[in-house]
Every structure is written in structure tokens, then in C-alpha cells.
Structure 1
Amino acid sequence: MLGVVSMDTLPDSDVPEIAFAGRSNVGKSSLINALTGRKQLARASTEPGRTRELNFFDMQGRLRIVDLPGYGFAKAPKEVAARWTRLTQNYLRGRVNLKRVFLLIDSRHGIKPSDEEIMKVLDSAAVVYQIVLTKTDKLKPNEAQKRLEETSQKIARRPAAFPVISATSSAKRDGLDELRGEISTLAL
């Protein structure tokens, strides 16, 4: 639909939105592509920091998906990274039609301090967020279950955390139907 680099160019807030957030290279674009069944809807890259704007995707007028820039390591000048971080934070704090943020966590690494910082921002802004563990195909089954349990414990006392954790693999298509079901409850 469009890429936004400033708050004054946001689309109207007349359609529910969901946003995908996470560290650089956690798999946001890959998950969006897998969920929508479109290989090139969101540009996926192996280069951290490739997404540098808020990318809006229209889902038949019933819902908008927003691909947020990754946080953490990025191959970009510090002032550029600071600009897109401010834009993301302003969007998260002030978007009235934002129904949920799906906070992607690489299942191989779990919740990192940078993820906890974003959770604090979302908690203080009262923006509901749901943890989505990505790349679960890279874990052994017992490791995946352990990561789910660890993650559940870490978010148990967070006021804006949605209690359901999704475990996904874009490559193997695991967990996508369940996540689509969660998303469909947020559409018009």
C-alpha cells in the first residue's frame, strides 16, 4: 500500500491495523509473506536494518498489516536508525486503530534486553502485544517447548502482553494457521 517515513503521512485510521515488530532479522517480512501466501509482499533480506520505514499492506479493506523497522543491530548510520526508531515509537504510542502488535522473538535466542525495552514501551502505552516465536524449525522439539515455557514466564506480569504465545516457522509453515486465526479476530 505505502511506506511511511513521517507521522504526517500515515494513512487514515479508518481500518484496524496490526503491526509486526522485532529485532533486525527476526523474520518479520518472511512471516508476513508466509501468512499472506505472497512471496514478495514484504521484502525480506539477510541484511539487518533493511526495513527503514513503516510499510503498510492493505488486506482487502478489512485490515492493514504494518511491517515495522527492526530494532537492534542494523547496517545503517546511527542518525538514520535513530530516526526510524522514533517514528516507530511515535506510531506505537499514538495509533488509535492499532489492535495488536505481534512482537517477534527468534526462538533460538529468546527474549533479549532490547525486546524487554520494547515491551516496556508497549506496556506504558497500553498497546496490546502478542509474542510470536519465529524460526522454531531450527529447534529440537524439547527446546521449543522449553522456550515457550520460558517466554510465558517472562511475560506473565506484563500488563499489555496478550497471554497466547504463537510458535511459528515461515520456512516449514508451522503455526501459521493458528496465527491467522488470531489475526482474523482483529479484522473488521
Structure 2
Amino acid sequence: MFDAEALEAARKLFARETRFMMGCVRIDDLPAADLPEVAFAGRSNVGKSSLINAVTGRTHLARASNEPGRTREVNFFVLDEVLRLVDLPGYGFAKVARDAARKFQNLGRDYLRGRPNLKRAYLLIDARHGLKKVDEEALEALDVAAVSYQIILTKADKLKPAEVDAVVAKTLAQISKRAAAFPRVLATSSAKGTGIPELRAEIVAACQL
């Protein structure tokens, strides 16, 4: 998939400083579209914050919470002033009123539809469960937005290698007819570091850095 040179170049890039830039609660508050961006989306308990921390090599950059659905904003992190990583509001299990949940989930959709510098969205799926019905709405939103997106399986360390391979194959089959889906599924573990070098390289390639 990626040779040693590409993996090392991506490692060096992500070893540079990454900082929290801003959180936006309205589409009008988004920063200027002057840097390439990649966005992370997924269910509220899928391990989004942990993955962002693992990719950037930081422990507390993205704040994980024991309360699913805490992210109410579109959060921007900037890597060495050359790339932004965007944490979108989670969907499902949000312990907020339905109208409030809809508000911040719609913010995520608005971001996906109207961001010309968005190079790829990463849809995080728990490897133990694979794509579920609740994820269909996210897939549809990404397809409608015509944003290139890639499925990233999280918590792969919870499964045996053969089970991970099976989930990867099944997921690929499920997205095979979706035009905007990138035809490669990556299994990762934030806890063990599995797949993190490859995800960094995927980001570098998508953004042509």
C-alpha cells in the first residue's frame, strides 16, 4: 500500500507541532478555506478523539470524554500551518435534546457540503461491529455531499487478525457501489498504534503534501 519512504515522510510531517485552532458552532464561523483539510466523522463512542491524538502523536490534543456525544462543535486542529484536521460532531447516543442534537449534526453536514478545501473525510467505524444501520445516514450524507471519504475501522486490537480481515472485506463489499467511497478500508488501533502510520500516509497522499 505505502512503501517505507512514504510512511517515514508521513511520520516526519506528523511529528511537527499540531495545535488546537478553534471550535465553531455556526457555519459562518468557519476559518478561511486556505489550507487543505481532512475531517473525521463517526458515532459518538467510536474513538474519534483517541484516533486524532494517535495520528498527531499527542496525548490530550483532542479531548476524549466518558460521556458520548459531547462534541457540539466543529473543532479544527492545525498541523505546522500546512494542514488542518477537523473533528466533526458525533452522531448517535448524544445525551442532549433531540432538537439540539439535530442542530450540531446539521452543522457537520453543512461543513461537508460547503468546504471546497476538504480533501477527504474519514468515517470511523468500530471494528467489532462493522457498518450498522445508524451509519447509513452518515454514508448517505457523504455521498450527497460528493466528498471523497474513506472508512477507518477503530479498536481493531479487540479482534483477532482473521476477524479484522473479515470485517475489512465485508466493509469493502458494503461500500463498493458508493461512488464517493475511497476503495480502501484501513483497520486501526489507537491503543496499539496499528494502522496509524498508514493513516498518516493516507492523509498525506489525499492532501498531496
Report the TM-score range of the alignment, normalised by the length of the smaller protein: over 0.9
Q: Where does residue 81 of structure 1 map in the other structure? A: 101
Q: Where does residue 131 of structure 2 map in the other structure? A: 111
Q: Is structure 2 residue 145 aligned with structure 1 residue 142? A: no
Task: Give the percent of matched residue pairs that are identical in Structure 1 and Structure 2.
Answer: 61
Q: Where does residue 46 of structure 2 map in the other structure? A: 26
- Taking a change above 3 Å as real, the CA distance of residues 9 and 111 of structure 1, as seen in their structure-2 partners, is same
Shift of 1:114: 2.0
Shift of 1:125: 1.7
Cα displacement string for residues 82-120 of structure 1 (whole angstroms, at most 9, x for unaligned residues): 110111111111110010000000000100112121111
AA in 1 matched with 2:93: F
AA in 2 matched with 1:13: A
User: Hey, what's the Cα distance between the residues in 1 that align with 2:208 and 2:81?
Assistant: 9
State how many pairs are aligned. 188
Taking structure 1 as the reference length, the TM-score comes to 0.97
Q: Where does residue 181 of structure 1 map in the other structure? A: 201
| Aligned alpha-carbon RMSD (Å) | 0.9
Taking structure 2 as the reference length, the TM-score comes to 0.88
Kept in 2, the 8 Å contact 1:63–1:187? The answer is no
Q: Secondary structure at the match of 2:131?
A: coil
Structure 2 unaligned regions, length at least 5: 1-20
Kept in 2, the 8 Å contact 1:21–1:103? The answer is yes
User: Hey, what's the Cα distance between the residues in 2 that align with 1:121 and 1:86?
Assistant: 10
**Counterpart among 179, 183, 189 of residue 169 in structure 1:** 189
Structure 1 unaligned regions, length at least 5: none
Shift of 1:187: 5.2
Q: Where does residue 146 of structure 2 map in the other structure? A: 126
Q: Secondary structure at the match of 1:102?
A: strand
Q: Secondary structure at the match of 1:101?
A: strand
Q: Where does residue 36 of structure 2 map in the other structure? A: 16
Cα displacement string for residues 130-156 of structure 1 (whole angstroms, at most 9, x for unaligned residues): 000000000112111110111010011
Give 4+ residue runs of structure 1 displaced > 6 Å after superposition.
Answer: none
